[in-house]
Structure 1
């Protein structure tokens, strides 16, 4: 029978592998990063890696889940940080979040959007996991806009999500938060127009 400290140590090692793989995939890309790189960085054997994740795709799924869980909580806290904000202003804070991240330093885009791009038509589970993350972001926007009671609410949610995703992609090219600021202004105008 395994004791709690042994189980905890295995869980910690798995978490360490996920965090290292996340950082490496985010910096170098998914196809450009081999399993050997993750093994070298964490000091684990290929057998241990496959025991925990089954395959490289299993490891990628674990990193997407790690990103989705952490990012959802961070964004939710961020957009709700001002309890007096009006619903539209709360929703617009999602763009402020992006602007701050872009201006902090090297911006590699959205981890999940990067995975989706590299695995389109190549990995159904990876695509589905990416779609779940995107759906979560869209739900955050949806909740804020429902509170605002704007007409054509569903259409507006999709339009703002397009601005959000487009700003992320464009900012990878420009290496600047300016694109995100323009997307925020466009989102504000859409809400005022409705």
Structure 2
């Protein structure tokens, strides 16, 4: 496994976005299916984006939803060929159980704010990955990361207000195993800036992932 941070570029909407992110070295690309978001794409476009992501390289295609029925979202993710489903919103453990039943083998990522769940811990909902985000996802807002160290949370990916100027410091101080960015690599709301994507990923390469705890 690489020592580099895991990097997800969220909210890709075009083939050129996909190409730029994959060529820059992104590990995962997020496809937003949530109508109020400026990055929203419909189901047909989401499926096309998944195809382009898989054609471009080894990056994961991640369907991102907000408060959509978890089982329906999992079925959609499986139908379009996504590698993972990222659930934002007011989900319970039972929702992850339902999603798992609807799409066995699909990776389930839990995205949550510590403002909403101060006790969040990796795997607590049966999730495969925990993503800690700002209270308003995709808004480009930084949040109080001092909460991160009030308890052991297990491995997590950091999101919320990240950009090329602050990602290295934020990742290093948080102890995250990866980072997720959307608005921080855009020229305007919903429009990806490919130069910013490249710079963002370059900056992450100066940060090493935290060492895994030794097994006793």
TM-score by length of 1: 0.29
Looking at CA atoms only, which structure, 1 or 2, has the larger radius of gyration? Answer: 1
Between Structure 1 and Structure 2, the one with more helix by share is 1
